[in-house]
Amino acid sequence: MRLSSVLASLVAVPSVISSSIPLMGDFARLHALCATSGPNAYVGVQYASGFEITFQYNQCYPYQLPNQGLAQKAVFCKTATCYSNPNPDCTGGAVPPIPVSVVDGTMLVNAADWVHLMGQGATCHSHGS
């Protein structure tokens, strides 16, 4: 299967769930926000309120922010190795203690508010560190 077919499938699934999500525009905007936020920014995130922010390597990325709601979309502009944490301040150790590699260009969409089931936050490091 060609990469373009795989990517088209990944984009199509969330689009079927909610046709009002302008995924490609969001992808471009969040990727650009991340890419222009310094050498250690690895992800651009949009929360339920519309608030957008980037996170740096080794900084806690909470899946929910007070007054902003749950993370709705995340676009990685750099490859990262991430660990999910049980607490929103990324304390409590990795759960499960297995690293997950996420490559540049990955878009995660929280179409059914499932992100909090993975934990409460993540700490990501430069791939290979």
Which residue ranges make up each domain of the chain?
3-126
Q: Is the pLDDT of residue 12 over 50?
A: no
Look at residue 105 in the predicted model and tell me its pLDDT. Answer: 95
- One of 2.60.20, 2.40.50, 1.10.3470, 2.60.120 is the CATH number of 3-126, namely 2.60.20
Residues 6+ apart with CB under 8 A from 91: 85
The mean pLDDT of 54-68, rounded to a whole number, is 96
Q: Is the pLDDT of residue 38 over 70?
A: yes
Residues 6+ apart with CB under 8 A from 99: 81, 82, 83
- Cα separation of the two ends of the chain: 31
State the pLDDT confidence band at 115, using cuts at 50, 70 and 90.
confident
Look at residue 129 in the predicted model and tell me its pLDDT. Answer: 54
Edge-first strand listing for the sheet containing 80-85: 60-62, 121-126, 80-85, 100-102
Whole-number Å distance between alpha carbons of 41 and 18: 29
